[in-house]
Amino acid sequence: MNAPAYNFAYLDEQTKRMIRRAILKAIAIPGYQVPFASREMPMPYGWGTGGVQVTAAILGLDDVLKVIDQGSDDTTNAISIRKFFAKTAGVATTTSTHDATVIQTRHRIPEAELNANQVLVYQVPIPEPLRFLEPRETETRRMHALAEYGLMHVKLYEDIARFGHIATAYAYPVKVNARYVMDPSPTPKFDNPKMDNCAALQLFGAGREKRIYAIPPYTQVVSLDFEDHPFEPYRFNAPCALCGAENSYLDEIVTDDKGGRMFVCSDTDYCEGRQAAGHHGSLSAAPYKEKAGSHG
């Protein structure tokens, strides 16, 4: 039997080259969705194959990789992707935002400020911000080409007419470099301001939809809004129950079936860092901790 052999970081060099060319084009035209020939990856489409391909294409031997999912280093998908690169590329991995050179993320931007030596790789399920207003790709491509974004403003206006405010909580559309309207991937809108004028390169990979786009460092990113209804990042009005943080994005955790709830930082590295520095919330212990050594 032919035992399959795999290249550094799984993808072959030709494929990496093709992806790097798409990335370069994406950087040159901020917010523009560059089509690329996405490959079948050894994990399902929609589970981060776009991010994984971008990471595989930019990863070097000296890189230190961090993978987060919903802000956490410990969720199953983050662990799985981190293990994949530890196995196929043998790169060092970390859970520390500060120590990482490449951070692959799903649904969050780390709380800690990123620096110019870092690349943030987003996994994107639906790259097209106009998709839910117009399902046809042929139409949305034309709308982008003509910068015809009236439909998006109408949608936001309809929200205001109906609810008194814009009813989009995540994947909140942004305008990049005063040209392209872009989907920031399903990050909560709380994270949108972190994209603006960011020191780190931000790359977005959508495997199933075969698109790559980018925000170069120090690029203007503006969340769409109206003068009289300005953009507001939403956050639960509670401190983190573990580290007491007042300014981080929080997850709601159901503690029983009688209405019990607690709120904790979704960025686990940030939360643990604060706890190690002596900050405490109302509940000091995490709700669930894996027993040391229980997985041999």
Window of 3-11, 187-195, 197-205, 217-225 that interacts with other proteins by CB under 8 A = 3-11
**What is the C-alpha separation between 86 and 80, in angstroms, rounded?**
10
* Greatest Cα-to-Cα distance within the chain, rounded to the nearest angstrom: 68
**Catalytic residue status for 207:** no
* 14, 146, 228, 288: residue in contact with other proteins (rule CB under 8 A): 288
Query: Please, which residues bridge with residue 54 across strands?
Result: none
CA 20 remoteness from chain centre = 19
Catalytic residue among 71, 205, 271, 281: 271
Window of 73-81, 112-120, 175-183, 273-281 that interacts with other proteins by CB under 8 A = 73-81
State which residue, 23 or 85, has the beta carbon closest to other proteins. Answer: 85
* 29, 79, 92, 152: residue in contact with other proteins (rule CB under 8 A): 79
Does residue number 76 form part of the binding site for other proteins (CB under 8 A)?
yes
Q: What part of residues 157-216 is at the interface with other proteins (CB under 8 A)? A: 162, 167
**Catalytic residue status for 198:** no
State which residue, 232 or 252, has the beta carbon closest to other proteins. Answer: 252
State which residue, 203 or 262, has the beta carbon closest to other proteins. Answer: 262
* 33, 38, 55, 70: residue in contact with other proteins (rule CB under 8 A): 70
250 class by beta-carbon count within 10 Å (0-12 exposed, 13-18 middle, 19+ buried): buried
Catalytic residue among 31, 48, 50, 71: 31
CB of 251 within 8 A of CB of 282? no
# residues contacting other proteins (CB under 8 A): 34
Catalytic residue among 50, 205, 265, 281: 265
Q: What part of residues 101-140 is at the interface with other proteins (CB under 8 A)? A: 126, 131-132, 134-135
- The contact pattern for other proteins, residues 217-256, with x = CB under 8 A and - = no contact, is ----------------------------------xxxxxx
43: its two tokens:
């994990």
Report the catalytic residues: 31, 240, 243, 265, 271
Residues that bind other proteins (CB under 8 A): 1, 3-4, 6, 41-43, 70, 72, 76-77, 79-80, 83-84, 87, 126, 131-132, 134-135, 162, 167, 251-259, 287-288
